[in-house]
A and B are shown apart, each in its own frame.
Chain A
């Protein structure tokens, strides 16, 4: 069997790949390169002179307690978002996997939130939980909770995690459902005959068999929580109150675009870039090996 496509002209394949390559080079590699260069430069306050400062931007960054806090906060957010949205999605998927009346409708409805853009998610949740406008805030206050995410940093963080996790549930649900449906029915039946009750069947058979899916989603969710929460944070809290919801990505934005400290902002971007590369590498390594079970 001939696996290679045959082209009349030797240039045609290159011409066909060129648009894709151009987009990647211009919109991904060029800015990335710019960021790396920028991270070694220092501009004066008026943008009149630029000097090459080697690693000064990085050194300064790591000497800054706020940056360290942002790292810890980002990791905490990622962890909280990933764990809460994964567990909720898994619960929903297990429920939806059973044969039931209206199952298709239920599944379709659960997938919808994924189509909502992150800033819209932010607005949506703010409407529900805004201290003076929110519907849910009233109930919370009636229950005696002093709910004010605009002033209370922990509550603001909770709100961001909640909204970000909610949005990701659909995506995770979809993968979990597919994963569950890939488990042969006879394996579950064998477990039932082998005397495993439903909960035990879940933890000893279903969960281990889903582990490749869980691992894949864990990486995807962490990457999501790192980067795609920007829209949610920007519409909901703008990083506040204080810096209680400033993540690494949001810090790049505030310091670079709002604060005008391009050198430091670029250095932060480069660090983020390295993080993504590491995460992706881990994922490829494991996904290729299909996580042995």
Chain B
């Protein structure tokens, strides 16, 4: 039986984690992810979990300890935001290259500077090539559901790649919304026991982790990671299917909203998708065929599937909540445009930078984006493809 509640995204993730009861959680506070270790510390204090909670002295150490714990054979977890993720940078690559399944709850926040505690995606976008799986949520329900599915994906024998479960700072992490929680036992049964293959604390066979590997083997190690990445999409879909069985909630690689007959579409990540859906509802009432693709799985990038979903669209706006400093747009823009090119798609595409450092985005803003797409279709020309939304003039 599902339980209805009203929770913030952070509390929802912490509850999922209590239900999972991981082995080791090294933690360091940073806004806006701090509540996750805070809630969890109270679960530890009250005997609701038997996790080793290690309050370390920095994010570099929280990820280092998570790497150590995971290599040792323990199910490991940590959480962070923004500069904390930047400080972990080196460790992200080491976790991925050691093929260590572990889960990082990332509460997206702008990177300094200027120092800013509010939401954008510059932290995780910067880490997009680190070799991690990245999964994003629109709201607290999705953050919770993704968290419940995370270990199944990361620990899958064909994958064994760490996973970043992302949600938007404050907008999702702190706003309290209605949510449906699964029963503790259902989550435990769904996630199951962790059975590592090679690990430090295996009394029958010692292991060595983290070798020096130069020109003779390094390239194969990297290719090996890429091979693991190839299996991720199918595992994500399989796990989602099974999750639907216990929750009734369906997930894919991305969500399509009003895409069946869409002539113009927005592609975006995170909480602003909710705002965009409202804009689409208004436009649909006026007979305008607007649609949305909301990315759930960003790494690996479901390029061909997205291109297929955009096949009949005449114009598309790709929304980046992070700068790429390429002089022609952000990272999601580059990924989607590359997917369209490979698919020989006809859609005219523009790339917007929006919502940096928590800059608010309203339904009217998104209506404006669709208005621009309408104009692009009429003129048959995308015009300036590198645009800003909501910038002070």
Q: Do A and B bind each other?
A: no
